[in-house]
Structure formats: structure tokens, C-alpha cells
Structure 1
Amino acid sequence: MNKRPAYAFIGLGHLGGNLAGCLLRHGFEITVYDRDPDAVARLVSLGATGAASAADAASRAGNAITCLPSPKVSEAVLAGPGGLLEGLPQGGTWIEMSTNGRDEMIRLAGIAAAKEISVLECPVTGGVHLAAKGQITALVGGDAALLQTHRPAIDAMCARAFHMGPLGSAAVIKVITNMLAFIHLVAAGEALMLARRGGLDLAQAYHAIAASSGTSFVHETESQLVLNGSYDIGFTMDLALKDLGFAAAMGNEFGAPLELATHVEEIFERGKAAYGGDAWSTQIVKLLEDATGTDLRAAGFPAKLEA
């Protein structure tokens, strides 16, 4: 008999849908809800149970996992009409896998604690393609004993999990990792443009950089989508700006000057103005392409990263 905890999973977008799928593949019982009925239907076809609301899903499962686009949405799903707090029983757990600021995470956890709901923050890093394979990394904040209770589910979704400390600590490191990723993305675009304008073969330049001291995870992954021309990373300009805004706020709060991150945030604001907030974050490199009239296409690179 399977005695592992059951979970409601709320938020079945590019990232959440893959994380929920990992739980199903590992035999977890999950009940799903999303505003997009097609997203729910995809998970139901894989063995999940559909629900009419977040509250309905939470009441059936007793614990809940969320993966949502913003603190505002997280608060609405947690405490709004039809939200998790209407369905979770006392003693249940809410695992928040969205990216939030530290203060937002602590505040939301306080709302849940007032209803005797335990909370773990568990944002993930590594990209949608790694989430699809259960190879993404979890950054966890909260009580160590509570983490152990839910460790099987986290391990089903993630290849590695780092317990960063109390609630709020995972929010800080997640914002740091995303800040670095956006800085690396802008730098990788400039490097590829320099190679292209310098007359190099772009495919060979990509591989040379990947084998050099100048490589990065972002270059090795997202640069491929730039070279293909799809830019399809499954992560938008709006989400990038949200995370860069969190970094700026933390820099001010902690007294840590973030000159480079501030400049990159300004570049992303230009990218949003040019291509829209729903454009893929990798299209930030297109600003350089458009400004120079020079594309960064090369043969042999995928339209999407391999899942």
C-alpha cells in the first residue's frame, strides 16, 4: 500500500506541468488544478485527478504544491476565494515552488501558519528541459524535519536539493541564480555577436566557447536556441524582469551594490519594449541582432532543448 503523502499540484505551465509529470511517473497520487483546462487534461491523461479549484484539489490531497508566475498569483491561490486555505486541513503542508522575494515568501508563509499549515519554499533552477527529465535542482527553505517528510516528492521532481536554511533563504539564492543566468545570457549574446562580426564560423565559435574558461550553463544551453533562431526557452521577458526586480530590491535591502545586474535589468526593459513581455527571455539577444542588422544563425542547433 502506498503510504506516501498525496499532493494537490496547482500551476501546470511550462515548469509546473513537467514537475507534476515527474511525480506521476514516480507513483505519487496527485490532484491537479490550473486555469487552463488543456493543461489539466494533459496531466489527467497521465494519471492525475482533475479538480474544480485549488481548494478542491487541496481538500482531496491534504498537501499542496504550487508553481506560479508571481507572488500576487501565489497569494491569490493560497488565500483567495477557492484557494488552498479553504481546502488544506490543519497540519497539511504547502510547498511553494514559485520564485518569490524573501519578504513575500515569509509573509505568505505567515498567512498559512495562521491556519496551522506548514510551509516549505522549494524554487527550482536549471530550466524547463531539466524539469521534464526530473533533473532540475531544488533550493529549499524551511524546517529540516518537514523537508524530510516531503523529501521523497522533492527527490522525484529534482536530481539535487539544497537545504538553504529557514524560510526566505531559498528565495534569496534562487534570485541570485536567476540574476546570474540573465547576466550570462546578455554576455553570451555579445560574445556570439563579436564572433559573427569578426568573421568566425558561429557553430565552431559556440563549441570553442563551450570548451573554454569562458563557458557557462547558459551559453551551453540557451545559446543553442539563439543560434537556431527559435529562442524557445519557455521563460518570458516578464518573468526575467520580475526576478531582476527581486534582485534589485535585495541589493538595496542588504547593502550590496549590483551595478551589472542593474544594467542587465535596463537591457531587459528595452527587450520588453521591443518584443513584448510574453517574448522569450532569450530574445534579449535579438536586440543586438536588430541593432547591427546581423543574425546569429548557425546550422545544427535545436529549436528546443532536449527533454
Structure 2
Amino acid sequence: MPELRIGFIGLGGMGRGLVKNLCAKGYSVTVFDLDSDKIADAVMHGATAGASAVEIAAKSDIFAVCVTTAEAVRALALGPDGALAALPKDAVFLDHTTVSVEHVDLLRDACVKAGINYAEAPMTRTPAHAERGEVNILFGGEESLLERLRPVFKTYSENIFHVGPSGHAIRLKLIHNYIAFANVASWCEGFALAAKEGLDMSKVINIISAAGGKSGMMDLYGDLTLRRDFTPHMSLENAQKDVRYYAEWLGKAGMPAFMAQSVHNTYALASIMGHGSESCTAVIKAYEDLSGVQACLKE
């Protein structure tokens, strides 16, 4: 086992599983999170608690970040007191966060100026996959950097996709997430309409799932939604953030964003109505709250 010093910031749904698997494979991992309970959980799995992101960065060969937004990554990375300034030369700033297109360009340029390697590696799949070491890694960057990171990625991934040069991974991730969340919004709207019209919801989901309306997101969350389980494996507020990044990117690319804006507005409304911390599928509650129905399976 190579004596790599790995720093890891962000122990939420995905980060927790990644750290657990890194430790299980014998890597030395120092962690930090704003939630002390999450730090304690990581320590229980073999990690070391760090005092701050900057302190951890100063002692890291690979500094991994898995937080919520591009803005959060920049806040901890940039500036004279940021983690980037503390990293040793030729270390790797490993960005697992689903960020914006502009963020990747900004962080890559900042890393180059600091003599640091920037690795964009957003992920797909769920926290349950992270726990099992089965996430998909989308990597954008040089092949040589990917090979340097591949042994680390293998501890918590099932598939490692080299998407292309730096910037391509986040572009593909945002397209993927937009399609996934647009799909959720569409079948949640359809489920709510079916409930309002008095259809048998078990027949609704079974028939849709047997035809062209079937989707991976419905397979994952359709039955849970109709059973009123809104556990936030992927929160609604995170879905809203990803669709916002996608819609902004469309506009800057000179393309119309009317469909993306509609999807974003749907999630934004559900969040304003108080469902942001629930599952992305809680978007159905916006329709239910406004129409006075509830889409659920009969007991």
C-alpha cells in the first residue's frame, strides 16, 4: 500500500461511504466536516480527525473535496488562507463535488498557478453505492493524472470513466443530472395528475414501468415516492442546484434554456414550499399541496 496522505473534506451522503472504503483498504485518511458527528463516524471507520481544511491540506498528497456547491468549494480552497495555498507542490486537489462549468475552469487555473494538480471527478449513483464502493467516477483530465489516482478510485468505485480533458466530466455530469431530475419532475407531475383523477396508483406505476415511460430514476424512487418515503438520498435542494448550474451553462453556451428553466422553477417552488431538505422526489408535494391530493399506493 503506497504511503499516500489523503485529506478528505465533506462527509455527507457520498463522502461518508468514500472515506469508509478508503480506510477499509488501508489508506491513511484525515477528515474534516462541519458536523462533528460525521467526523466521529469517520474516525470509527479508521480515519483521523483534522482540525481544519487548511491544516489537512498542508499534510496531504491528495486533498479530496466532496461538498454541496461550487461556491462552498471555492470558499475553502481559494484566497491567502485557503486550502490551495497550503497544499504541497505537485499534490492533487481532487474535486468530487458536482459543481458548475465555470468553477472547473477557475479551480484548474488556480491550481496550475499554485503548482497543484486539479482533478475533476464528479460521481453518479447514490449514497448506498458509495457505502458499497460502487460509485461511477467521471474523470476529466490527463491520462497520467488518472493513472496516479486510479488505485484510490478503485477503493470506492465500480466504474471509472475517462470522459476527456479537464472540463468534460462536469459537463457530462450536469447533462446527466439534468436529464435525471427532469425525468423525476415529469413523472411526479404525472403521478399527481393520476391521483387527482382517481387512477389506481399501483396500475399507474406498473404500466408506465412496462413501457416507454420506464426510467432509471423511476426504478430507484418511483415506488418509494408512492409509499411516501422521502428520505433524502439525493436532496431536492441539491437537485435544484444542479439544474440551476445546467440552465446557466445553457444560456452561456448560447442555447435556449426554456425547458431547463421550467424544471428548475418546479424544484425551486417545491423548495420554497418547505421540501428542500427532503428527497428530490418531494417535488411531487408541490403539485399535491396546490391540488389537494396525495399520490400514494393503497394499503
Contact 2:275 2:283 in 1 (8 A): no
Which position in structure 2 is the counterpart of 1:165?
164
Q: Secondary structure at the match of 1:149?
A: helix
Contact kept? 1:225, 1:233, Cα under 8 Å: no
The Cα RMSD (Å) is 2.0
> For each residue in 1:81-122, what CA deviation from the matched residue of structure 2 results, as whole angstroms up to 9, or x when unmatched?
654224321011111000111111110121122111101100
After TM superposition, give the deviation of residue 80 of structure 1 in Å: 4.6
Q: CA deviation at 1:299?
A: 6.3
Structure 1 residue 56 displacement after superposition: 2.0
Conserved 8 A contact 1:32-1:49 = yes
Structure 2: gaps of 5 or more residues:
none
Offset at residue 128 of structure 1 (A): 2.0
TM-superposed deviation, 1:12:
0.7
Letter of the 1:9 partner, please give it. Answer: F
Q: Deviations over 1:12-54 (max 9, x none)?
A: 1122112222222222221111111111110000001111111
Identity of aligned pairs, percent? 28
Shift, 1:219, TM fit: 0.6
Task: Give the SS at the match of 1:61.
Answer: coil
Q: How far is the alpha carbon of 1:198 from its aligned partner?
A: 5.0
Structure 1-normalised TM-score? 0.90
Query: In structure 2, what is the equivalent of residue 268 of structure 1?
Result: 267
For the residue of structure 2 that corresponds to 1:56, the secondary structure is helix
Determine the C-alpha separation between the residues in 2 that align with 1:128 and 1:229.
20
Query: How much has 1:180 moved relative to structure 2?
Result: 0.8
Q: Which runs of 5+ in 1 are unaligned?
A: 301-307
Kept after mapping to 2: 8 A contact 1:7/1:62: yes
Deviations 1:202-226 (A, max 9, x none): 2343233333221111111122331
Does the CA-based 8 Å contact 1:128-1:233 persist in structure 2? no
Counterpart residue type for residue 181 of structure 1: A
Which residue in 1 is equivalent to 2:175? Answer: 176
Q: Distance in 2 between matches of 1:82 and 1:64?
A: 16
Residue aligned with 2:42, SS: helix
For residues 20 and 299 of structure 1, the distance between their equivalents in structure 2, rounded to whole angstroms, comes to 40
Rounded Cα–Cα distance in structure 2 between residues aligned with 1:134 and 1:76: 29
String of CA shifts for 1:99-151, please: whole Å, max 9, x gaps. 11111111012112211110110011122222222222111111111011101
Contact 1:53 1:82 in 2 (8 A): no
Deviations 1:151-205 (A, max 9, x none): 1111222211211112111111111111111111111212323443454432343
Conservation of the 8 A alpha-carbon contact between 1:30 and 1:61? no
Counterpart of 2:32 in structure 1 is: 33
Correspondence for 1:76? 75
Range with bigger deviation, 269-278 or 70-79? 269-278
Aligned to 2:205: 206
Aligned to 1:228: 227
Cα distance in structure 1, aligned partners of 2:33 and 2:80: 15
**1:124 paired residue number:** 123
Quick one: distance in 2 between partners of 1:50 and 1:81? 23
Cα distance in 2 for partners of 1:62, 1:164 equals 24
CA distance in 2 between partners of 1:175 and 1:27 (Å): 32
Deviations 1:267-286 (A, max 9, x none): 11211221154343221111
Shift of 1:4: 5.5
Q: 1:297 to 1:276 in 2, by over 3 A?
A: closer
Q: Comparing 40-49 with 256-265, which one deviates more in the overlay?
A: 256-265
- SS for the counterpart of 1:90 is coil
Report the residue type matching 2:175 in the other structure: I
1:53 and 1:83 in contact (8 A); partners too: no
How many Å separate the matches in 2 of 1:32 and 1:299? 45
Deviating beyond 4 angstroms after TM superposition, the runs of 4 or more aligned structure 1 residues are 197-200
Q: Distance in 2 between matches of 1:231 and 1:31?
A: 32
Which letter does structure 2 place at the counterpart of 1:176?
A: I
Looking at structure 2, the residues matched to 280 and 193 of structure 1 have their Cα atoms a distance apart, in angstroms, of 16
Give the corresponding residue for 1:90.
Answer: 89
User: Which residue number in structure 2 is paired with residue 242 of structure 1?
Assistant: 241
Distance (Å, rounded) in 1 between the aligned partners of 2:8 and 2:156: 12
Aligned residues: 299
Aligned partners of 1:272 and 1:279 also within 8 Å: no
Contact 2:107 2:118 in 1 (8 A): no
Cα deviation, residue 249, structure 1: 1.6
